[in-house]
Structure 1
Amino acid sequence: MIPYIREIEFEYGRCDQVSPLIRRVIARNPGPFTYTGTGVYIVGSGEVAVIDPGPEIAEHLDALLAALKGERVTHILVTHHHLDHSPLARPLADLTGATIYGRPAPSDPGEASRGPEGAGLEEGADGRFRPDVELVDGQVLSGPGWTLDAITTPGHTSNHVCFGLKEENALFCGDHIMGWSTTVITPPDGDMGDYFASLDKVKARGFDTLWPTHGAPIREVTPFVDAYIAHRRAREAQILDALAAGHGQIKAMVPVLYAAVDPRLHPAAAMSVLAHIQQLVREGRVVCDGAADLDAGYRLP
Protein backbone atom coordinates (compact mmCIF):
# COMPACT_ATOMS: atom_id res chain seq x y z
CA MET A 1 0.00 0.00 0.00
CA ILE A 2 1.29 3.46 -0.89
CA PRO A 3 1.91 5.56 2.28
CA TYR A 4 0.17 8.66 0.92
CA ILE A 5 0.98 12.07 2.42
CA ARG A 6 -2.13 14.24 2.19
CA GLU A 7 -1.62 16.82 4.94
CA ILE A 8 -0.16 20.12 3.79
CA GLU A 9 -0.05 23.48 5.56
CA PHE A 10 -0.43 26.44 3.20
CA GLU A 11 -2.43 29.50 2.19
CA TYR A 12 -3.04 30.44 -1.41
CA GLY A 13 -0.62 33.10 -2.56
CA ARG A 14 1.53 32.92 0.56
CA CYS A 15 5.25 32.33 0.08
CA ASP A 16 6.50 29.70 2.54
CA GLN A 17 10.15 28.88 3.27
CA VAL A 18 9.99 25.07 3.17
CA SER A 19 13.73 24.33 3.36
CA PRO A 20 16.93 26.38 3.62
CA LEU A 21 17.07 26.85 -0.17
CA ILE A 22 13.43 26.39 -1.20
CA ARG A 23 10.33 28.57 -1.02
CA ARG A 24 6.87 27.58 -2.28
CA VAL A 25 3.82 29.49 -3.54
CA ILE A 26 0.64 27.50 -4.27
CA ALA A 27 -1.74 28.61 -7.02
CA ARG A 28 -5.47 28.62 -6.49
CA ASN A 29 -6.26 25.86 -9.01
CA PRO A 30 -7.38 22.89 -6.88
CA GLY A 31 -8.99 19.91 -8.59
CA PRO A 32 -9.05 16.14 -9.03
CA PHE A 33 -5.70 16.20 -10.86
CA THR A 34 -4.01 19.10 -9.05
CA TYR A 35 -4.96 18.36 -5.41
CA THR A 36 -4.66 21.70 -3.55
CA GLY A 37 -3.17 23.42 -6.60
CA THR A 38 0.14 23.94 -8.38
CA GLY A 39 3.06 24.36 -5.98
CA VAL A 40 5.63 26.70 -7.52
CA TYR A 41 9.14 26.38 -6.11
CA ILE A 42 11.65 29.22 -5.82
CA VAL A 43 15.23 28.00 -5.39
CA GLY A 44 17.92 30.20 -3.86
CA SER A 45 17.88 33.86 -2.92
CA GLY A 46 18.99 36.97 -4.76
CA GLU A 47 19.42 35.17 -8.08
CA VAL A 48 16.84 32.41 -8.20
CA ALA A 49 15.25 29.63 -10.24
CA VAL A 50 11.48 29.20 -10.47
CA ILE A 51 10.21 25.66 -11.06
CA ASP A 52 6.82 25.01 -12.72
CA PRO A 53 5.41 28.56 -12.62
CA GLY A 54 1.92 27.17 -13.14
CA PRO A 55 -1.32 28.37 -14.74
CA GLU A 56 -2.05 31.82 -16.12
CA ILE A 57 -4.06 33.20 -13.19
CA ALA A 58 -3.64 36.93 -12.47
CA GLU A 59 -3.84 36.46 -8.69
CA HIS A 60 -1.16 33.77 -8.88
CA LEU A 61 1.18 35.87 -11.02
CA ASP A 62 0.81 38.74 -8.55
CA ALA A 63 1.67 36.41 -5.66
CA LEU A 64 4.77 35.13 -7.45
CA LEU A 65 5.96 38.64 -8.29
CA ALA A 66 5.48 39.67 -4.66
CA ALA A 67 7.50 36.65 -3.50
CA LEU A 68 10.27 37.52 -5.99
CA LYS A 69 10.40 41.25 -5.23
CA GLY A 70 13.95 42.54 -5.14
CA GLU A 71 15.38 39.37 -6.64
CA ARG A 72 16.54 38.40 -10.12
CA VAL A 73 14.94 35.36 -11.75
CA THR A 74 17.64 33.77 -13.90
CA HIS A 75 16.05 30.39 -14.65
CA ILE A 76 12.47 29.22 -15.19
CA LEU A 77 12.34 25.42 -15.20
CA VAL A 78 9.35 23.46 -16.48
CA THR A 79 8.86 19.76 -15.75
CA HIS A 80 6.32 19.23 -18.57
CA HIS A 81 3.75 20.90 -20.77
CA HIS A 82 0.44 20.47 -18.92
CA LEU A 83 -1.73 23.52 -18.35
CA ASP A 84 -1.20 23.49 -14.59
CA HIS A 85 2.60 23.64 -15.00
CA SER A 86 3.87 25.57 -18.01
CA PRO A 87 1.58 28.42 -19.24
CA LEU A 88 2.88 31.10 -16.87
CA ALA A 89 6.49 30.46 -17.92
CA ARG A 90 6.45 32.85 -20.87
CA PRO A 91 4.64 35.75 -19.13
CA LEU A 92 6.98 35.44 -16.14
CA ALA A 93 10.02 35.33 -18.43
CA ASP A 94 8.81 38.44 -20.27
CA LEU A 95 8.48 40.29 -16.97
CA THR A 96 11.76 39.15 -15.44
CA GLY A 97 14.10 38.50 -18.37
CA ALA A 98 14.64 34.90 -17.25
CA THR A 99 15.48 32.02 -19.58
CA ILE A 100 13.00 29.13 -19.82
CA TYR A 101 14.41 25.60 -19.61
CA GLY A 102 12.57 22.34 -20.32
CA ARG A 103 11.63 20.02 -23.13
CA PRO A 104 9.12 21.09 -25.79
CA ALA A 105 5.58 19.82 -25.98
CA PRO A 106 5.23 16.92 -28.43
CA SER A 107 4.09 17.97 -31.88
CA ASP A 108 1.17 15.51 -31.71
CA PRO A 109 0.37 14.36 -28.16
CA GLY A 110 -2.79 12.57 -29.27
CA GLU A 111 -6.43 13.46 -28.91
CA ALA A 112 -6.57 12.39 -25.27
CA SER A 113 -4.06 15.06 -24.24
CA ARG A 114 -5.45 18.02 -26.15
CA GLY A 115 -7.29 20.93 -24.63
CA PRO A 116 -8.45 21.64 -21.09
CA GLU A 117 -11.31 19.17 -21.43
CA GLY A 118 -9.21 16.32 -22.85
CA ALA A 119 -12.21 14.02 -22.40
CA GLY A 120 -11.80 14.65 -18.65
CA LEU A 121 -8.45 12.89 -18.61
CA GLU A 122 -6.05 15.58 -17.46
CA GLU A 123 -5.73 19.25 -16.70
CA GLY A 124 -5.04 19.62 -20.43
CA ALA A 125 -1.93 20.20 -22.48
CA ASP A 126 -0.09 23.40 -23.29
CA GLY A 127 0.68 22.31 -26.84
CA ARG A 128 2.46 25.58 -27.61
CA PHE A 129 5.08 25.17 -24.88
CA ARG A 130 8.58 25.72 -26.26
CA PRO A 131 11.46 26.44 -23.87
CA ASP A 132 14.27 28.82 -24.74
CA VAL A 133 16.73 26.03 -23.94
CA GLU A 134 15.88 22.38 -24.58
CA LEU A 135 17.33 20.32 -21.75
CA VAL A 136 19.22 17.06 -22.09
CA ASP A 137 19.65 14.43 -19.40
CA GLY A 138 22.33 15.41 -16.89
CA GLN A 139 22.46 19.08 -17.89
CA VAL A 140 23.54 21.25 -14.94
CA LEU A 141 22.02 24.64 -14.12
CA SER A 142 23.31 26.77 -11.27
CA GLY A 143 23.15 30.05 -9.39
CA PRO A 144 24.61 31.50 -6.18
CA GLY A 145 24.49 28.68 -3.62
CA TRP A 146 22.38 26.25 -5.67
CA THR A 147 22.98 23.58 -8.31
CA LEU A 148 20.28 21.75 -10.25
CA ASP A 149 20.65 18.90 -12.70
CA ALA A 150 18.06 17.82 -15.25
CA ILE A 151 16.87 14.23 -15.06
CA THR A 152 14.71 13.18 -18.02
CA THR A 153 11.84 11.06 -16.71
CA PRO A 154 9.41 10.19 -19.54
CA GLY A 155 6.29 8.28 -18.63
CA HIS A 156 3.65 10.71 -17.38
CA THR A 157 4.48 12.65 -20.54
CA SER A 158 7.19 12.10 -23.13
CA ASN A 159 8.88 15.41 -22.23
CA HIS A 160 8.82 15.14 -18.44
CA VAL A 161 11.95 16.33 -16.62
CA CYS A 162 12.79 16.30 -12.91
CA PHE A 163 15.40 18.52 -11.27
CA GLY A 164 17.85 17.42 -8.60
CA LEU A 165 19.01 20.00 -6.04
CA LYS A 166 22.58 19.00 -5.16
CA GLU A 167 22.92 21.05 -1.96
CA GLU A 168 19.91 19.37 -0.29
CA ASN A 169 19.97 16.01 -2.10
CA ALA A 170 16.38 16.75 -3.08
CA LEU A 171 14.36 16.24 -6.27
CA PHE A 172 11.69 18.45 -7.79
CA CYS A 173 9.68 15.64 -9.31
CA GLY A 174 6.79 17.42 -11.05
CA ASP A 175 4.03 14.87 -11.65
CA HIS A 176 6.41 11.91 -11.91
CA ILE A 177 5.83 11.00 -8.26
CA MET A 178 3.15 12.59 -6.06
CA GLY A 179 2.61 12.11 -2.36
CA TRP A 180 -1.18 12.38 -2.45
CA SER A 181 -1.99 10.15 -5.44
CA THR A 182 -0.62 7.94 -8.15
CA THR A 183 0.40 9.50 -11.46
CA VAL A 184 -1.81 9.35 -14.55
CA ILE A 185 -0.21 7.74 -17.61
CA THR A 186 -2.14 8.78 -20.71
CA PRO A 187 -1.17 7.20 -24.06
CA PRO A 188 0.01 7.96 -26.64
CA ASP A 189 2.19 10.66 -25.03
CA GLY A 190 2.35 8.77 -21.72
CA ASP A 191 4.07 5.39 -21.76
CA MET A 192 4.04 2.78 -18.99
CA GLY A 193 7.33 1.13 -20.00
CA ASP A 194 9.06 4.51 -19.91
CA TYR A 195 7.40 5.25 -16.58
CA PHE A 196 8.72 2.10 -14.88
CA ALA A 197 12.22 2.88 -16.19
CA SER A 198 12.00 6.47 -14.93
CA LEU A 199 10.89 5.33 -11.46
CA ASP A 200 13.93 3.06 -11.29
CA LYS A 201 16.14 5.94 -12.45
CA VAL A 202 14.92 8.23 -9.66
CA LYS A 203 15.17 5.50 -7.03
CA ALA A 204 18.80 4.82 -7.99
CA ARG A 205 19.77 8.41 -7.21
CA GLY A 206 19.00 8.02 -3.49
CA PHE A 207 17.38 11.40 -2.87
CA ASP A 208 16.53 12.42 0.70
CA THR A 209 13.42 14.44 -0.24
CA LEU A 210 11.02 14.61 -3.17
CA TRP A 211 9.16 17.87 -3.84
CA PRO A 212 6.14 17.16 -6.10
CA THR A 213 4.45 20.05 -7.88
CA HIS A 214 1.19 19.06 -6.15
CA GLY A 215 1.02 18.30 -2.45
CA ALA A 216 3.48 17.81 0.39
CA PRO A 217 7.11 16.64 0.25
CA ILE A 218 8.03 12.97 0.46
CA ARG A 219 10.72 12.36 3.10
CA GLU A 220 10.93 8.55 3.13
CA VAL A 221 11.87 8.33 -0.51
CA THR A 222 12.97 4.74 -1.14
CA PRO A 223 10.01 3.06 0.63
CA PHE A 224 7.61 5.44 -1.13
CA VAL A 225 9.04 4.77 -4.61
CA ASP A 226 9.08 1.03 -3.86
CA ALA A 227 5.38 1.26 -2.93
CA TYR A 228 4.66 3.23 -6.12
CA ILE A 229 6.32 0.51 -8.21
CA ALA A 230 4.59 -2.28 -6.26
CA HIS A 231 1.23 -0.57 -6.81
CA ARG A 232 1.80 -0.51 -10.58
CA ARG A 233 2.88 -4.15 -10.60
CA ALA A 234 -0.20 -5.08 -8.56
CA ARG A 235 -2.42 -3.23 -11.05
CA GLU A 236 -0.71 -5.10 -13.86
CA ALA A 237 -1.49 -8.40 -12.09
CA GLN A 238 -5.13 -7.34 -11.61
CA ILE A 239 -5.44 -6.64 -15.32
CA LEU A 240 -4.03 -10.08 -16.14
CA ASP A 241 -6.48 -11.64 -13.66
CA ALA A 242 -9.36 -9.73 -15.26
CA LEU A 243 -8.36 -11.03 -18.68
CA ALA A 244 -8.12 -14.56 -17.30
CA ALA A 245 -11.68 -14.14 -15.98
CA GLY A 246 -12.88 -13.24 -19.47
CA HIS A 247 -13.08 -9.44 -19.17
CA GLY A 248 -11.53 -8.57 -22.49
CA GLN A 249 -12.33 -4.87 -22.75
CA ILE A 250 -11.03 -1.92 -20.76
CA LYS A 251 -14.46 -0.40 -20.19
CA ALA A 252 -15.46 -3.57 -18.34
CA MET A 253 -12.34 -3.58 -16.17
CA VAL A 254 -12.25 0.01 -14.89
CA PRO A 255 -15.37 0.01 -12.63
CA VAL A 256 -14.04 -3.11 -10.92
CA LEU A 257 -10.37 -2.21 -10.68
CA TYR A 258 -11.08 1.38 -9.58
CA ALA A 259 -14.22 0.87 -7.50
CA ALA A 260 -12.79 2.95 -4.63
CA VAL A 261 -11.67 5.83 -6.88
CA ASP A 262 -13.61 9.05 -7.52
CA PRO A 263 -15.71 8.31 -10.65
CA ARG A 264 -14.52 11.61 -12.12
CA LEU A 265 -11.13 9.93 -12.43
CA HIS A 266 -12.40 6.80 -14.20
CA PRO A 267 -11.70 8.16 -17.71
CA ALA A 268 -8.11 8.80 -16.62
CA ALA A 269 -8.00 5.38 -14.98
CA ALA A 270 -9.06 3.82 -18.29
CA MET A 271 -6.07 5.46 -19.94
CA SER A 272 -3.73 4.08 -17.26
CA VAL A 273 -5.19 0.61 -17.86
CA LEU A 274 -4.59 1.11 -21.57
CA ALA A 275 -0.99 2.15 -20.84
CA HIS A 276 -0.48 -1.04 -18.81
CA ILE A 277 -2.04 -3.19 -21.51
CA GLN A 278 0.00 -1.61 -24.30
CA GLN A 279 3.15 -2.47 -22.37
CA LEU A 280 1.90 -6.02 -21.74
CA VAL A 281 1.20 -6.38 -25.47
CA ARG A 282 4.74 -5.22 -26.25
CA GLU A 283 6.06 -7.82 -23.82
CA GLY A 284 3.96 -10.56 -25.43
CA ARG A 285 1.98 -11.19 -22.22
CA VAL A 286 -1.31 -10.00 -23.73
CA VAL A 287 -2.71 -10.40 -27.22
CA CYS A 288 -4.67 -7.61 -28.90
CA ASP A 289 -7.35 -8.08 -31.55
CA GLY A 290 -6.49 -5.09 -33.75
CA ALA A 291 -4.98 -1.78 -32.65
CA ALA A 292 -4.23 -1.52 -28.92
CA ASP A 293 -6.72 1.21 -27.99
CA LEU A 294 -9.59 1.76 -25.56
CA ASP A 295 -12.10 -0.14 -27.70
CA ALA A 296 -9.98 -3.15 -28.60
CA GLY A 297 -10.49 -6.69 -27.40
CA TYR A 298 -7.67 -8.25 -25.35
CA ARG A 299 -6.86 -11.78 -24.22
CA LEU A 300 -4.07 -13.83 -22.76
CA PRO A 301 -1.84 -15.66 -25.24
Structure 2
Amino acid sequence: MEAGIVQQLLPGVRRLVAPNPGLMTGPGTNTYLLGERDITVLDPGPALDAHIDAIDAAIVRSGGRLQRVVVTHTHPDHSPGAALLAERYGVPLVGQSIANDGHQDDSFQPDEELQHDVVIDVEGVALRAIHTPGHVDNHFCYFHEASGLLFTGDHIMQGSTVVIIPPAGDMADYMASLRALLDYPMAALAPGHGTLIESPHQEVQHLLAHRQGREDKVHAALTQLERGDLDDLVTVAYDDVDASIHPIAKLSLWAHLLKLQKEQRAEENDGIWAVIA
Protein backbone atom coordinates (compact mmCIF):
# COMPACT_ATOMS: atom_id res chain seq x y z
CA MET A 1 0.00 0.00 0.00
CA GLU A 2 1.59 3.22 -1.20
CA ALA A 3 0.58 6.66 0.04
CA GLY A 4 -1.07 8.96 -2.47
CA ILE A 5 -1.98 6.24 -5.00
CA VAL A 6 -5.68 5.83 -5.76
CA GLN A 7 -6.80 2.21 -5.71
CA GLN A 8 -10.17 1.13 -7.14
CA LEU A 9 -11.57 -1.50 -4.78
CA LEU A 10 -15.09 -1.83 -6.17
CA PRO A 11 -17.27 0.21 -8.51
CA GLY A 12 -17.79 3.47 -6.68
CA VAL A 13 -15.25 2.65 -3.95
CA ARG A 14 -11.67 3.98 -4.07
CA ARG A 15 -8.95 4.08 -1.41
CA LEU A 16 -6.11 6.50 -0.71
CA VAL A 17 -3.52 5.87 2.00
CA ALA A 18 -2.27 8.85 4.00
CA PRO A 19 1.50 9.26 4.44
CA ASN A 20 1.38 8.64 8.20
CA PRO A 21 2.74 5.11 8.71
CA GLY A 22 3.66 4.05 12.23
CA LEU A 23 3.22 1.63 15.10
CA MET A 24 -0.39 2.70 15.72
CA THR A 25 -1.33 3.41 12.09
CA GLY A 26 0.28 0.54 10.19
CA PRO A 27 0.89 1.55 6.56
CA GLY A 28 -1.13 4.75 7.14
CA THR A 29 -4.72 5.86 7.51
CA ASN A 30 -7.10 4.73 4.77
CA THR A 31 -9.27 7.40 3.18
CA TYR A 32 -12.16 6.12 1.08
CA LEU A 33 -13.82 7.95 -1.81
CA LEU A 34 -17.37 6.69 -2.33
CA GLY A 35 -19.28 7.40 -5.53
CA GLU A 36 -18.10 8.09 -9.05
CA ARG A 37 -19.40 11.64 -9.58
CA ASP A 38 -21.16 12.76 -6.39
CA ILE A 39 -18.41 11.82 -3.95
CA THR A 40 -18.45 11.19 -0.21
CA VAL A 41 -15.04 11.15 1.48
CA LEU A 42 -14.83 8.80 4.45
CA ASP A 43 -12.06 9.44 7.00
CA PRO A 44 -9.95 12.19 5.38
CA GLY A 45 -7.09 11.33 7.72
CA PRO A 46 -4.55 13.71 9.27
CA ALA A 47 -4.25 17.35 8.26
CA LEU A 48 -1.38 16.77 5.83
CA ASP A 49 -1.32 18.99 2.76
CA ALA A 50 0.05 16.20 0.57
CA HIS A 51 -2.84 13.90 1.50
CA ILE A 52 -5.52 16.57 1.07
CA ASP A 53 -4.01 17.42 -2.32
CA ALA A 54 -4.14 13.72 -3.27
CA ILE A 55 -7.83 13.55 -2.31
CA ASP A 56 -8.48 16.72 -4.29
CA ALA A 57 -6.64 15.35 -7.34
CA ALA A 58 -8.66 12.11 -7.22
CA ILE A 59 -11.92 14.09 -7.17
CA VAL A 60 -10.79 16.30 -10.06
CA ARG A 61 -9.60 13.36 -12.18
CA SER A 62 -12.97 11.66 -11.81
CA GLY A 63 -14.79 14.80 -12.89
CA GLY A 64 -16.80 14.51 -9.70
CA ARG A 65 -18.00 16.84 -6.97
CA LEU A 66 -17.42 16.43 -3.27
CA GLN A 67 -20.78 16.22 -1.48
CA ARG A 68 -19.79 15.59 2.14
CA VAL A 69 -17.10 14.32 4.47
CA VAL A 70 -17.94 11.59 6.99
CA VAL A 71 -15.71 10.22 9.74
CA THR A 72 -15.68 7.02 11.74
CA HIS A 73 -14.39 8.84 14.83
CA THR A 74 -12.36 11.87 15.86
CA HIS A 75 -8.90 10.53 16.65
CA PRO A 76 -6.10 12.66 15.15
CA ASP A 77 -5.17 10.14 12.46
CA HIS A 78 -8.71 10.00 11.04
CA SER A 79 -10.54 13.34 11.09
CA PRO A 80 -8.32 16.48 11.05
CA GLY A 81 -8.28 16.54 7.25
CA ALA A 82 -12.04 17.12 7.33
CA ALA A 83 -11.71 20.78 8.31
CA LEU A 84 -9.31 21.38 5.41
CA LEU A 85 -11.65 19.73 2.90
CA ALA A 86 -14.66 21.59 4.26
CA GLU A 87 -12.83 24.89 3.86
CA ARG A 88 -11.76 24.01 0.31
CA TYR A 89 -15.12 22.69 -0.90
CA GLY A 90 -17.72 24.17 1.46
CA VAL A 91 -19.29 20.78 2.18
CA PRO A 92 -20.96 19.46 5.36
CA LEU A 93 -19.06 17.35 7.90
CA VAL A 94 -20.87 14.29 9.24
CA GLY A 95 -19.91 12.50 12.44
CA GLN A 96 -20.48 12.56 16.17
CA SER A 97 -18.81 14.99 18.55
CA ILE A 98 -17.30 13.94 21.87
CA ALA A 99 -15.67 15.61 24.86
CA ASN A 100 -11.92 15.78 24.45
CA ASP A 101 -10.20 13.20 26.64
CA GLY A 102 -6.76 14.28 25.43
CA HIS A 103 -6.90 12.01 22.38
CA GLN A 104 -9.52 13.78 20.21
CA ASP A 105 -9.43 16.09 17.21
CA ASP A 106 -10.96 19.38 18.37
CA SER A 107 -10.95 20.76 14.81
CA PHE A 108 -13.79 18.43 13.79
CA GLN A 109 -17.10 20.22 14.30
CA PRO A 110 -19.88 18.20 12.65
CA ASP A 111 -22.60 19.95 10.69
CA GLU A 112 -24.67 16.79 11.10
CA GLU A 113 -24.51 14.88 14.39
CA LEU A 114 -24.58 11.23 13.39
CA GLN A 115 -26.95 8.75 15.00
CA HIS A 116 -27.15 4.96 14.80
CA ASP A 117 -28.90 3.55 11.71
CA VAL A 118 -28.88 6.82 9.77
CA VAL A 119 -28.67 6.14 6.03
CA ILE A 120 -26.54 8.39 3.82
CA ASP A 121 -27.40 8.35 0.11
CA VAL A 122 -24.28 7.95 -2.04
CA GLU A 123 -25.39 8.05 -5.66
CA GLY A 124 -28.43 5.93 -4.85
CA VAL A 125 -26.47 3.50 -2.68
CA ALA A 126 -27.33 3.30 1.02
CA LEU A 127 -24.40 3.91 3.37
CA ARG A 128 -25.72 2.91 6.79
CA ALA A 129 -24.13 4.30 9.95
CA ILE A 130 -23.66 1.71 12.71
CA HIS A 131 -22.77 3.04 16.15
CA THR A 132 -19.87 0.90 17.38
CA PRO A 133 -18.61 2.35 20.67
CA GLY A 134 -15.64 0.69 22.30
CA HIS A 135 -12.44 1.99 20.72
CA VAL A 136 -13.98 5.35 21.52
CA ASP A 137 -17.58 6.26 22.34
CA ASN A 138 -18.25 8.25 19.14
CA HIS A 139 -17.07 5.51 16.77
CA PHE A 140 -19.20 4.51 13.79
CA CYS A 141 -18.78 1.84 11.15
CA TYR A 142 -20.47 2.34 7.77
CA PHE A 143 -22.21 -0.45 5.85
CA HIS A 144 -22.21 -0.07 2.06
CA GLU A 145 -25.40 -2.01 1.44
CA ALA A 146 -25.02 -2.56 -2.32
CA SER A 147 -21.66 -4.32 -1.98
CA GLY A 148 -21.75 -5.63 1.57
CA LEU A 149 -18.53 -3.74 2.34
CA LEU A 150 -18.21 -2.56 5.95
CA PHE A 151 -15.93 0.41 6.59
CA THR A 152 -14.61 -0.28 10.06
CA GLY A 153 -12.38 2.68 10.96
CA ASP A 154 -10.49 1.61 14.07
CA HIS A 155 -13.14 -0.84 15.26
CA ILE A 156 -11.38 -3.55 13.27
CA MET A 157 -7.88 -3.14 11.82
CA GLN A 158 -6.09 -5.49 9.47
CA GLY A 159 -3.10 -7.22 11.00
CA SER A 160 -3.41 -6.01 14.61
CA THR A 161 -5.84 -5.59 17.46
CA VAL A 162 -7.32 -2.24 18.44
CA VAL A 163 -6.15 -0.36 21.53
CA ILE A 164 -8.98 0.54 23.89
CA ILE A 165 -8.22 3.75 25.82
CA PRO A 166 -10.48 4.51 28.81
CA PRO A 167 -12.49 6.46 29.71
CA ALA A 168 -13.69 7.24 26.16
CA GLY A 169 -12.87 3.66 25.24
CA ASP A 170 -14.80 0.83 26.87
CA MET A 171 -14.02 -2.88 26.55
CA ALA A 172 -17.55 -4.06 27.37
CA ASP A 173 -18.94 -1.73 24.70
CA TYR A 174 -16.27 -2.86 22.26
CA MET A 175 -17.13 -6.54 22.58
CA ALA A 176 -20.88 -5.81 22.40
CA SER A 177 -20.31 -3.75 19.25
CA LEU A 178 -18.36 -6.60 17.67
CA ARG A 179 -21.19 -9.03 18.41
CA ALA A 180 -23.72 -6.61 16.89
CA LEU A 181 -21.84 -6.61 13.57
CA LEU A 182 -22.49 -10.32 13.14
CA ASP A 183 -26.13 -9.46 12.31
CA TYR A 184 -25.12 -7.64 9.11
CA PRO A 185 -24.65 -9.42 5.75
CA MET A 186 -21.02 -8.35 5.42
CA ALA A 187 -19.08 -9.41 2.34
CA ALA A 188 -15.74 -7.82 3.35
CA LEU A 189 -14.22 -5.37 5.81
CA ALA A 190 -12.55 -2.14 4.72
CA PRO A 191 -10.47 -1.12 7.75
CA GLY A 192 -9.07 2.27 8.66
CA HIS A 193 -5.57 0.76 8.47
CA GLY A 194 -4.50 -2.10 6.23
CA THR A 195 -6.03 -4.04 3.37
CA LEU A 196 -9.47 -5.53 2.77
CA ILE A 197 -10.46 -8.45 4.99
CA GLU A 198 -12.38 -10.97 2.87
CA SER A 199 -13.76 -13.17 5.68
CA PRO A 200 -15.65 -10.64 7.82
CA HIS A 201 -17.72 -12.90 10.06
CA GLN A 202 -14.76 -15.15 10.79
CA GLU A 203 -12.64 -12.09 11.58
CA VAL A 204 -15.22 -10.76 14.04
CA GLN A 205 -15.48 -14.16 15.73
CA HIS A 206 -11.68 -14.33 15.92
CA LEU A 207 -11.51 -10.89 17.56
CA LEU A 208 -14.18 -11.81 20.09
CA ALA A 209 -12.30 -15.00 20.97
CA HIS A 210 -9.02 -13.06 21.24
CA ARG A 211 -10.52 -10.43 23.55
CA GLN A 212 -12.17 -13.09 25.71
CA GLY A 213 -8.88 -14.96 25.90
CA ARG A 214 -7.09 -11.78 26.98
CA GLU A 215 -9.75 -11.09 29.59
CA ASP A 216 -9.25 -14.60 30.94
CA LYS A 217 -5.49 -13.92 31.19
CA VAL A 218 -6.13 -10.63 33.00
CA HIS A 219 -8.39 -12.37 35.50
CA ALA A 220 -5.84 -15.16 35.94
CA ALA A 221 -3.10 -12.57 36.53
CA LEU A 222 -5.22 -10.95 39.24
CA THR A 223 -5.79 -14.33 40.83
CA GLN A 224 -2.10 -15.21 40.67
CA LEU A 225 -0.81 -11.91 42.07
CA GLU A 226 -3.79 -11.38 44.39
CA ARG A 227 -3.30 -7.62 44.00
CA GLY A 228 -1.25 -5.25 41.85
CA ASP A 229 -1.13 -2.11 39.77
CA LEU A 230 -1.04 -1.91 35.98
CA ASP A 231 2.75 -2.29 35.89
CA ASP A 232 2.52 -5.49 37.94
CA LEU A 233 -0.33 -6.96 35.95
CA VAL A 234 0.84 -6.19 32.43
CA THR A 235 3.95 -8.35 32.80
CA VAL A 236 1.76 -11.38 33.57
CA ALA A 237 -1.37 -10.73 31.49
CA TYR A 238 0.67 -9.70 28.45
CA ASP A 239 3.64 -12.02 28.83
CA ASP A 240 3.07 -13.17 25.23
CA VAL A 241 3.92 -9.78 23.70
CA ASP A 242 7.23 -7.95 23.55
CA ALA A 243 7.92 -5.80 26.61
CA SER A 244 8.34 -2.77 24.36
CA ILE A 245 4.59 -2.98 23.67
CA HIS A 246 3.65 -3.03 27.37
CA PRO A 247 3.13 0.76 27.69
CA ILE A 248 0.43 0.53 25.00
CA ALA A 249 -0.87 -2.79 26.32
CA LYS A 250 -1.51 -1.18 29.70
CA LEU A 251 -4.28 0.89 28.13
CA SER A 252 -6.21 -2.18 26.98
CA LEU A 253 -5.35 -3.90 30.28
CA TRP A 254 -7.00 -1.01 32.09
CA ALA A 255 -10.05 -1.38 29.85
CA HIS A 256 -10.27 -5.10 30.65
CA LEU A 257 -10.00 -4.37 34.37
CA LEU A 258 -12.78 -1.79 34.18
CA LYS A 259 -14.98 -4.36 32.46
CA LEU A 260 -14.23 -6.88 35.22
CA GLN A 261 -15.02 -4.18 37.78
CA LYS A 262 -18.42 -3.53 36.15
CA GLU A 263 -19.09 -7.25 36.35
CA GLN A 264 -18.07 -7.23 40.04
CA ARG A 265 -15.18 -9.60 39.34
CA ALA A 266 -12.43 -7.11 40.26
CA GLU A 267 -12.03 -4.08 42.49
CA GLU A 268 -9.66 -1.12 42.58
CA ASN A 269 -8.36 1.01 45.44
CA ASP A 270 -5.82 3.81 44.84
CA GLY A 271 -4.62 2.20 41.63
CA ILE A 272 -4.24 -1.27 43.14
CA TRP A 273 -6.43 -3.96 41.61
CA ALA A 274 -7.60 -7.16 43.28
CA VAL A 275 -9.78 -10.04 42.23
CA ILE A 276 -13.25 -10.51 43.74
CA ALA A 277 -13.91 -14.16 44.42
- TM-score above 0.5: yes
Q: Judge conservation of contact 2:133–2:173 (CA < 8 Å) in 1.
A: yes
Partner of 1:121: none
1:258 deviates by: 2.8
Partner of 1:297: 273
Name the SS for the 1:68 alignment partner: helix
Name the structure, 1 or 2, with higher relative contact order (CA <8 Å, separation 6+).
1
Partner of 1:133: 112
> Is residue 197 of structure 1 aligned with residue 176 of structure 2?
yes
Q: Judge conservation of contact 1:51–1:78 (CA < 8 Å) in 2.
A: yes
Deviations along 1:95-145, one digit per CA (max 9) or x if unpaired, are 1222110001x2242xxxx2xxxxxxxxx4213422110011111111324
Matches within 5 A, 1:75-154: 75-104=68-97, 106-109=98-101, 114=102, 124-154=103-133
Name the SS for the 2:23 alignment partner: coil
Partner of 2:209: 230
Name the SS for the 1:280 alignment partner: helix
1:71 deviates by: 1.2
The total of aligned residue pairs comes to 274
- Aligned-residue Cα RMSD (Å) equals 1.5
Distance of 2:169 and 2:216 partners within structure 1: 20
1:209 to 188, 191, 194: 188
**What's the TM-score once normalised by structure 1's chain length?**
0.87
Deviations along 1:43-62, one digit per CA (max 9) or x if unpaired, are 11000111000001111111
Partner of 1:283: 263
Structure 1 residues 18 and 239, CA, compared in 2 at 3 Å: closer, same or farther? Answer: same
Deviations along 1:202-257, one digit per CA (max 9) or x if unpaired, are 11113111100100111111111001000000011101111111152221121333
Distance of 2:25 and 2:226 partners within structure 1: 32
Q: Percent identity?
A: 39
Distance of 1:269 and 1:129 partners within structure 2: 28
1:296 deviates by: 2.4
> Is residue 258 of structure 1 aligned with residue 238 of structure 2?
yes
Q: Judge conservation of contact 2:15–2:32 (CA < 8 Å) in 1.
A: yes
Where does structure 2 lack aligned partners over 5 or more consecutive residues?
A: none
Name the SS for the 1:131 alignment partner: coil
Distance of 2:244 and 2:118 partners within structure 1: 38
Q: Judge conservation of contact 1:186–1:268 (CA < 8 Å) in 2.
A: no
